[in-house]
Amino acid sequence: MDLRLLEKLSCAVSLGHIDEARNIAKSELEKYAEVAEFGQCGLIAKIDKGKDKTLLLDAHIDEVGFIVTKILGDGFLRVASVGGCDARILPATVVTVHGKEKFTAVFASTPPHLAEDKKDVKGLDDIVLDTGISDIERYVSCGDLVSYKTDLCRLDGNKVSGKSLDDRVGVFCLIELARRVYDKDLEYNLIISISDGEELGLRGAVTSSFECEADEAIAIDVSFGDGPNISSEKCGKLGNGAMLGISPVLDRGVTEKLKKIAGDKNIPLQFEVMGGKTSTDADVISVSKSGIKTGLLSIPLRNMHTPAEVVDTHDLEGVISLLYEYLLGGGK
């Protein structure tokens, strides 16, 4: 598996009006499909096989970040979160400010020697961004966006760490899948949706699924990976395969077909059981128009919504292989 594309997707930014990662995904998908852009909906890539049925595969391209709310002077800024950012990890975190030009800044950290309460975790309203630029008003305006600044790095074994792996790993899987199947004889017309705005309330998947009019759909996202002090019932184990969603809001037939293929083809698979909504694009896709039979595959990920997310590349290959066999087998 060539991880250079994953590295490009991870390091790029897709936040608000900034479309770096989306442009990379578009350039790659155009090699295999007819691609159209739909504003905040994202990208819709079609591989038309002249069939009566259409399968929609979805992954979201946007990431969590920040927006400048106040310029304090002397180089300091206040920001609000765009999506579910974790304030616990922000002090001393390096970011990119997308002002009149891009530049690096850091979240200010109180030295432990001066902290009144060393165990106190500050909220975002109590943390300031240090740009180091005394006349910062010349370079930044309220409403400018701020993104994490992290390179993708390889850990020992098959694991990688970086920012925005939620859900650039899903996007990567769908681009690689398109490469493998675009010239195959499929039972479906295939639509790949690279949706935007998932971190702001599943916005892109609402409009993209309405546009696509699919007969079936599978959403590809991430879920909680194992680690110290995390309940095994609430997470998947990195390296043990994709997590198959099981929920009352998901289609039982799609879920069972994915489960059967994994067993028949010896593709590692874990199960993620939910009592209701999945908090992924699958929730809104399943009720688009008159309803779409929808399944969910998730990749276990550690340190969610931080600049140091971790995944195992074996799980990415598992997702690609399972979707490949699902497509060649005619779906549900």
Statement to judge: residues 193 and 280 lie in one domain: yes
**Domain harbouring 106, CATH code:** 2.40.30.40
Which phi and psi angles does 142 have, rounded to 5°?
Answer: -60, 135
Domain membership flag for residue 156: no
Domain membership flag for residue 114: yes
What value does the mean pLDDT of the chain take?
A: 92
Q: Which of 209-213, 291-295, 299-303 has the lowest mean pLDDT?
A: 209-213
Statement to judge: residues 34 and 123 lie in one domain: no
Residue 192 in tokens: 């790949």
Confidence (pLDDT) at 124: 84
Domain membership flag for residue 109: yes
Q: How far apart are CA 221 and CA 223, in angstroms?
A: 7
pLDDT band at 111 (very low <50, low <70, confident <90, very high): low
Number of domains in the chain: 2
pLDDT band at 41 (very low <50, low <70, confident <90, very high): confident
Higher pLDDT, 41 or 115: 41
Query: What is the reported pTM?
Result: 0.94
Q: Degrees (nearest 5) of the Cα angle 233, 234, 235?
A: 100
Confidence (pLDDT) at 212: 87
Q: Any residues with CB less than 8 A from the CB of 222 and at least 6 apart, and which?
A: 165, 166, 167, 169, 170, 298, 299, 300, 301, 304, 309, 311
Final residue before a domain boundary, out of 93, 113, 148: 148
Statement to judge: residues 44 and 107 lie in one domain: no
At residue 40, does pLDDT exceed 80?
no
Confidence (pLDDT) at 71: 94
Confirm whether 199 is a catalytic residue: no
| Set 7, 63, 198, 216: catalytic member | 198
Q: Which of 38-52, 279-293, 308-322 has the lowest mean pLDDT?
A: 38-52
Confidence (pLDDT) at 330: 64
Q: How far apart are CA 312 and CA 240, in angstroms?
A: 9
Tens of pLDDT, residue by residue over 120-157, are 667 888 889 999 998 999 999 999 999 999 999 999 88
Structural domain span for residue 111: 65-148
User: Looking at residues 195-212, what average pLDDT do you find?
Assistant: 91
pLDDT band at 329 (very low <50, low <70, confident <90, very high): confident
Judge contact between 43 and 211, C-beta under 8 A. no
At residue 117, does pLDDT exceed 90?
no
Q: Which of 24-28, 78-82, 83-87, 261-265 has the lowest mean pLDDT?
A: 83-87
Q: Which of 113-122, 231-240, 322-331 has the lowest mean pLDDT?
A: 113-122
**Domain harbouring 190, CATH code:** 3.40.630.10
Cα-based distances in Å from 73 to 18, 83, 91, 302, 306: 25, 26, 19, 36, 27
Higher pLDDT, 64 or 112: 64
User: Looking at residues 175-198, what average pLDDT do you find?
Assistant: 94
Q: With pLDDT > 90 as the criterion, what percentage of the chain qualifies?
A: 80
Confidence (pLDDT) at 38: 82
